[in-house]
Amino acid sequence: MNKNKANPSDLQRFSKRFWLHLMDFPYIWIITLVLVVFASVAYLYPDKWNTAELIGSFALILLTVLLLSKPMNAIYGLIGATGSIRLFFANFILITAIFAFIYQFGFFQNAGISYDVNQPHIDYQLYSDNEKKEIIRILERRDTVYLKHKLDSIVFDETVIHESKDTLHYQSIEFMQVWKSTILTTLTQEPTDLLTIATIHNSAMESNNTTMDKEKSNLFEWILIFHIIISWIFFGVFISLIYSKFRYEA
C-alpha cells in the first residue's frame, strides 16, 4: 500500500490548516475579495462601471495602506508563516485564479482584441451580448497636408487630404488565455503581451466608448502593478523556502 498517497484525513488536516491560515492573516484576502466584488459588479452590471471602478479603486487604496502599515502581515497572508511548501502552492494557485477572475470579468468579458495593427488594440466594449464571434471593423483615417507653393511671384496654398482604410479583425478573449497570462506574469514578474496591451489606451482607434476604454486601461494598469508586486513576494519567498528545506534537511 502506498503510504505517500493522500487520504481523506490528510486533505481534512490540510483544509483545516489552510482555513486557520486565512483566519490568522485575513487582511490581504479581504482586500482581494473586494477586488472580486469589483469584477463581479463590472460583469453583472456593465452599465454601472463608475460604481465598479470606485470599488476597485477603494481596494487598491486598502492594499497600499496594508503594504505600508503591515507589510509582514500581507506577506504571511499570501504565503503562510509555517514554511509549508504545500500551503505556498495552494496560495499561489488561489491568488492566480483570483487575478485571472478579476482580469476576465472586470475587463475582458466584453472585450475584443485585434492584431491587424502595429500596436494590437483592445476594445473593452466590443461585445454587448454572449455571441462572441469575429467582428470586422473598417477604420477610416484622414491625413490633411497643407502645402505652400511659389510660382514666379505668385504664392498659393494647397490642401491635400489623404484617405486610408484599415480592416481590423477583432476576436474575443477567453478565460483560459487570461489565466495562462496571469500565471506567466506571476512566475516571471513581468506582464505578458496580452496584459501589457490591456494597459495601453489608443485614443486614435475607433471605439464604442473611448472614455470607458481609457478608464478601464488605467485601472487595469494599477491592478497589474500590485499583481507584479505580489509576484515578487511569491518569488522571493519560494527561494527562501527551498533554501531552508535544503539547509535543515540535508
d(C-alpha 214, C-alpha 202), whole Å: 8
Last residue of a domain, one of 166, 184, 209: 166
Q: Look at strands 121-123 and 112-114 and give their pairing.
A: antiparallel
CB 88 within 8 A of CB 17: no
| Res 96 pLDDT > 70 | yes
Which helix (H) or strand (E) is 137 found in, with range? strand 135-151
127 and 111 in contact (C-beta within 8 Å)? yes
Query: What is the rounded average pLDDT for all residues in the chain?
Result: 81
For residues 29 and 62, membership in a common domain is answered with yes
Residue 201 and residue 94 share a domain:
yes
Please report whether residue 153 resides in a domain: yes
Same domain? 239 vs 185 = yes
Q: Average pLDDT of 219-237? A: 90
Considering its fold, how many domains does the chain have in total? 2
For residue 21, give its domain range.
Answer: 8-112+173-249
- Exposed (0-12), middle (13-18) or buried (19+): which is 73, by Cβ within 10 Å? middle
- The domain boundary, picked from 132, 166, 200, lies at 166
Whether residue 182 is found in the same domain as residue 224:
yes
Q: Per the domain annotation, does 15 fall within a domain?
A: yes
Is position 197 within any domain? yes
Q: Tell whether 28 and 108 lie within a shared domain.
A: yes
pTM of the model: 0.79
The pLDDT, as a whole number, for residue 128 is 75
Same domain? For 151 and 236 the reply is no
Pairwise pLDDT comparison (120 vs 246), residue with the higher score: 120
Question: Residue 102 is inside which H or E element, if any?
Answer: helix 85-103
151 and 225 in a single domain? The answer is no
pLDDT digits (tens, 9 = 90+) for 28-43: 888 999 999 999 999 9
Task: Note the pLDDT of residue 164.
Answer: 63
Residue 130 inside a domain? The answer is no
**Chain centre to alpha carbon of residue 110:** 14
Least confident range of 69-78, 139-148, 178-187, 192-201: 139-148
